[in-house]
Structure 1
Amino acid sequence: MKPKVIVMSGYGINCEEETKYVFEQSGAEADIVHVNDLIDGIKKFSDYQILAFPGGFSYGDDTGSGNAYANKVKNNLWDDLLKFVQDDKLVIGICNGCQMLSNLGLVPAFDGEYGKRNIALRWNSTARYECRWVDIKVQSDKCVWTREMDTLKCPISSGEGNFYGEPDVIKRLNDDGQVVFRYIKPDGELAGGEFPYSPNGSTEDIAAICDPSGRIMGIMPHPERNWNFYNQDNWTLVKEKAEREGIALPEEGQGMQIFRNGVEYFGG
């Protein structure tokens, strides 16, 4: 049986269609569900195995990116959401969705304490919206979503992607293996906060984190936008090199592996 994915929508989320698409391409069934349909009981978290908070600019980023949407979820759906995450199910938050997970306290959720907020996504160090391709590298084998992965090229698209935590929080993330991705330079070295390799000035180049179980991941770059090799910013160069060296081109974009990992967790 195919796992079912609930893709959240409403109030300025604008990446739900492509998020639904990549999950379907990975072998899942996916529904786009407005948050009000969950609040009204028309749809239920319990009918799904994977929950996705897509990218966008919910509530126009008023009161801080992802904050108002997270409050709407927490004030109306918290008990149902908490049961979902405690039932060995998966959650992914991408860009604005990552900001929502942070505000909800679903990541990092040290010691399984969901609901406590102890990280923030602040304004980019450039003080402007950044939209560019970046390279990121897996930092831990804890996360379900990044199994069999090493590096990934995908776009960043945010004004508030600057990951911040107090020193004790950052240390705990590192010690517990909850830093999932870091920004890197094209040669594979850490970005070291250097723009544009680190597009936002994130603390220790952090691009994604997970909860202690590895089932909930918040990621600022957009892996769903690299679902097709020809979406990649350097595809012409890669294609030319492949033709000269006589090697096959990738059948799909690098980002697809994240969504396949989520589906395969349930045997899909």
Structure 2
Amino acid sequence: PDVFALGVCNGCQMFSNLHAIVPGAERWPHFVRNRSEQFEARLVQVEVGDSPSVFFRGMAGSRIPIVVSHGEGYAEFGASARLDDVRALVAMRYVDHRGRVAATYPYNPNGSPEGITGLTTPDGRVTILMPHPERCYLTAQLSWHPEGWPEASPWARMFRNARVWVG
């Protein structure tokens, strides 16, 4: 297969609702109302997981600030979606200022279990995430970043990774 897809925010919600027709996504959760009961639009920190995602090759373990902007980002695991079945497919988690998986607000803006905010398929070709890397691929787009970052933020790498995968 020579196709790939990235679902960000509403795209993440759409793909999770279409999980039955996305090969390898059968166990993905649905994304529902944030536990905070409010729209969250701010900067948070995430850690890129060790997943097969074509977008995150070489980025596992990276802790990077990212923009969130959603009211329905809670990953709800139900009868068809089980947390145990997707742990190896977690592409991104919210983390706190010490790099620990964020289970509580405000570090975890939607309250998702185990800080899950991004998943992929077993072959890594379809990746979904609630945060917005496309809104902060340049360092200047971030309201805070470590001193000395170059013009391109670390999020630019995920788009370069996609280009490399395409060939």
Structure 2 unmatched runs, 5+: none
- Mapped contact 1:102–1:117 kept (Cα < 8 A): no
Are residue 259 (structure 1) and residue 159 (structure 2) matched? yes
CA deviation string 1:163-194 (max 9, x = no partner): 111386110111xx101111001221111x21
Pick the aligned partner of 1:137 from 47, 51, 63: 47
CA deviation after TM superposition for structure 1 residue 88, in Å: 2.9
Structure 2 residue matching 1:259: 3-state secondary structure? helix
Alignment of 1:114-129 (within 5 A): 116=26, 119-129=29-39
Work out the CA distance in 1 between the residues paired with 2:143 and 2:44: 10
CA deviation after TM superposition for structure 1 residue 144, in Å: 1.0
Structure 2 residue matching 1:230: 3-state secondary structure? helix
Pick the aligned partner of 1:184 from 95, 98, 105: 95
Q: Cα 1:118–1:182, aligned 2, differ >3 Å: closer, same or farther?
A: closer
Q: Which has the higher contact order (CA 8 A, sep 6+)?
A: 2
- Mapped contact 2:140–2:151 kept (Cα < 8 A): no
Are residue 99 (structure 1) and residue 10 (structure 2) matched? no
Work out the CA distance in 2 between the residues paired with 1:117 and 1:179: 12
Please, what TM-score do these two structures have when normalized by structure 1? 0.57
Moved over 4 A (4+): none
CA deviation string 1:77-127 (max 9, x = no partner): xxxxxxxxxx331100000000010011169x5xx356x575210100110
Q: What is the identity percentage for the equivalent residue pairs of Structure 1 and Structure 2? A: 32
- Mapped contact 1:226–1:255 kept (Cα < 8 A): yes
Q: Cα 1:91–1:173, aligned 2, differ >3 Å: closer, same or farther?
A: same
- Mapped contact 2:30–2:75 kept (Cα < 8 A): yes
CA deviation after TM superposition for structure 1 residue 158, in Å: 0.4
The letter of the residue matching 1:120 is: H
Structure 2 residue matching 1:157: 3-state secondary structure? strand
Q: Provide the aligned C-alpha RMSD in A.
A: 2.0
Work out the CA distance in 1 between the residues paired with 2:27 and 2:86: 14
CA deviation after TM superposition for structure 1 residue 212, in Å: 1.4
Q: Cα 1:117–1:126, aligned 2, differ >3 Å: closer, same or farther?
A: same
Structure with the bigger percentage of helix: 1
Task: Report what 1:173 is aligned to.
Answer: 86
The letter of the residue matching 1:90 is: F
Please, what TM-score do these two structures have when normalized by structure 2? 0.89
CA deviation after TM superposition for structure 1 residue 234, in Å: 1.1
Q: Cα 1:263–1:118, aligned 2, differ >3 Å: closer, same or farther?
A: closer
CA deviation after TM superposition for structure 1 residue 151, in Å: 2.2
CA deviation after TM superposition for structure 1 residue 152, in Å: 2.4
